[in-house]
Amino acid sequence: MDKPQEACGVFGIISASGGGDKARPAADAYHALFALQHRGQTSAGIAVSDGGGIRYKKGDGLVQDVFDGDVLAKLTGHMAIGHVRYAARRGTSGVNAQPLVVETLGEHIALAFNGNLTNAGQLRIETENQGGLFQTTGDAEIILYAVVRKLLKTHSIETAVLEVMPLLKGAYSILILTRNKIIAARDPHGFRPLCVGTRGDETVFASESCALDAVEAEFERDVQPGEVVVASPDGLKSYSSRAEKRCSLCAFEFVYFARPDSVIDGQSVELSRYLAGQCLARRSPADADVVIGVPDSGLSSALGYAQESGVPYGIGFIRNRYIGRTFIQETQGLRERSLKIKLNVIAPVVRGKRVIMVEDSIVRGTTTSRVVSLLREAGATEVHMRVSSPPYMHPCFFGTDIPNRDQLPASRYTVDEMANMVGVDSLAFLRLEDLPDTMPDLRVGWCDACFTGEYPVPVASEKIKTV
């Protein structure tokens, strides 16, 4: 797989009145998780509360694999949280499916988490030394243990979360479900998105605004970096962790992770990608007959490139949306065959033509050369690749599965060498100095450490530059 994969997506909904159809919150979570499916395809889960206990269902697979009508009918309550997960580098076992659910002091707690803790190893060891026994290999259980320990002392879930936040280093957007409230928390750097919406007397939380659209909720605002928002029958309350940090929303949300119809911290994802394409056209033109984009995140940038350059736009690829995670295959031959099933060229668009192929990124580079080969086989006479992000040169420690620089060709080869590797006639990337121009409406700062190596928090490597 040539892309980094994002860790998770979260969703929550609560009715202030506690009335209405108690089957609807679970159904809403189900539909919202479909909208967030791009953020994780390894497992899915939903937990609900009716003011008594918490019922939940989770399992491996896509949302449609885990839930059906009978399962959803049993998940009744006036509030729910949901989760979709991508298996990052610390394991793929089904025990890591979320939400995680515990009972302590007569209180039921469910937690859903998106992100990655850079001090997870230290916190796990400290918990084990205090007698904690872990059932999973993910960071969510570490956070849950920390919250429960604070809850035993404070007897307030809000206070517990606020006291835990300074202990957590790295990226996290969290939803916690109790008997009668939902707590949302976003790390002080705001690495991962989290927003709030409303529908009648209901409060809705989601990783992306596209999930609000899926349940016909109105976007209200983003959860601010370092903020804790509590939704209960008493209304909505906001608390600050009082952690003064540099805001560092992941820039790759706009490059690849997020759906184009989402708006994150004021910035339209679709517009950001379109503007990146325009920047590329101005900086890196090419004599060509057609501009095409690699689905899905390259399409908007390709359109921007075409309209800025005057080269006609064409639909060069068709993506099969009904195929699963075909990149997980045992042999290279099977992987290449799976790619052709997943992505096919519309030959009449490219045959006999000089093609500009716009892609969102080159990360590992494992499939890019095969995509170029598909164009050559379909009759393209030239292929000029334009990448709508700067070279991906450094590993990410905040929720994506790029653990070291050895997997990143941009950190080891020149642009011309990479062009030869993937088999294109020319290759150009978005310039780092143009990155701000692709996010003109963003209301917070961003993290571009994967491009620059300048990390907003210390990470566990002496070879990494931290700021």
Residue 467 lies in a domain: no
- The verdict on 309 and 396 lying in the same domain is yes
- The verdict on 335 and 381 lying in the same domain is yes
Residue 372 lies in a domain: yes
Tell me which of 218, 245, 272 is where a domain ends. Answer: 245
Q: At a CB cut-off of 8 Å and minimum separation 6, what does 343 contact? A: 294, 295, 317, 318, 319, 320, 371, 374
Q: Give the bridge partners for 43, in sequence order.
A: 60, 85
Residue 462 lies in a domain: no
Catalytic annotation on 450?
no
Q: How far apart are CA 329 and CA 110, in angstroms?
A: 34
Between vectors from CA 54 to CA 52 and to CA 59, what angle results, nearest 5°? Answer: 165
Range of the domain at 136: 8-245
Nearest Cα to Cα of residue 139 among 110, 159, 108, 114: 114
Pairing outcome for strands 382-387 and 426-429: parallel
- The verdict on 281 and 392 lying in the same domain is yes
- The verdict on 412 and 362 lying in the same domain is yes
Q: How far apart are CA 124 and CA 84, in angstroms?
A: 23
**Cβ distance 240 to 22 under 8 Å?**
no
Residue 255 lies in a domain: no
Q: How far apart are CA 240 and CA 204, in angstroms?
A: 19
- The verdict on 125 and 49 lying in the same domain is yes
- The verdict on 213 and 305 lying in the same domain is no
- The verdict on 191 and 320 lying in the same domain is no
CA torsion angle 334 335 336 341 (round to 10)? 90
Look at the chain and report how many structural domains it folds into. 2
Percent composition of the chain: helix, strand, coil (DSSP 3-state, to 5)? 35, 25, 40
**Cβ distance 334 to 325 under 8 Å?**
no
Q: Along the 467 residues of the chain, how does pLDDT read in single tens digits?
A: 466 555 599 999 999 877 678 889 999 999 999 999 999 999 999 999 998 899 999 999 999 999 999 999 999 999 999 999 987 554 456 789 999 999 987 889 999 999 999 999 999 999 999 888 899 989 999 999 999 999 999 999 999 999 999 999 999 999 999 999 999 999 999 999 999 999 999 999 999 999 999 999 999 999 999 999 999 998 999 998 765 567 899 999 999 999 999 999 999 999 999 999 999 999 999 999 999 999 999 999 999 999 999 999 999 999 887 665 433 344 445 555 666 778 999 999 999 999 999 999 998 887 899 999 999 999 999 999 999 999 999 998 887 766 578 889 999 999 999 999 999 999 999 999 999 999 999 999 999 999 999 999 887 653 444 34
Residue 306 lies in a domain: yes
- The verdict on 113 and 148 lying in the same domain is yes
Q: What pLDDT, on the 0 to 100 scale, is given for residue 338? A: 65
- The verdict on 237 and 282 lying in the same domain is no
CATH code (residue 336)? 3.40.50.2020
CATH code (residue 241)? 3.60.20.10
- The verdict on 194 and 74 lying in the same domain is yes
Tell me which of 245, 280, 299 is where a domain ends. Answer: 245
Q: What pLDDT, on the 0 to 100 scale, is given for residue 132? A: 86
Q: Which residue has the tokens 């984009």?
A: 293
Residue 187 lies in a domain: yes
Q: Give the bridge partners for 11, in sequence order.
A: 82, 206
Cut 0.85: pTM above it: yes
- The verdict on 223 and 275 lying in the same domain is no
Element (H, E) at 127: helix 120-129
Residue 345 lies in a domain: yes
- The verdict on 214 and 68 lying in the same domain is yes
Residue 2 lies in a domain: no
Q: How far apart are CA 198 and CA 217, in angstroms?
A: 5
Cis ω on the peptide bond leading into residue 289 (within 30° of 0)?
Answer: no
Q: What pLDDT, on the 0 to 100 scale, is given for residue 460? A: 64
Tell me which of 197, 215, 245 is where a domain ends. Answer: 245
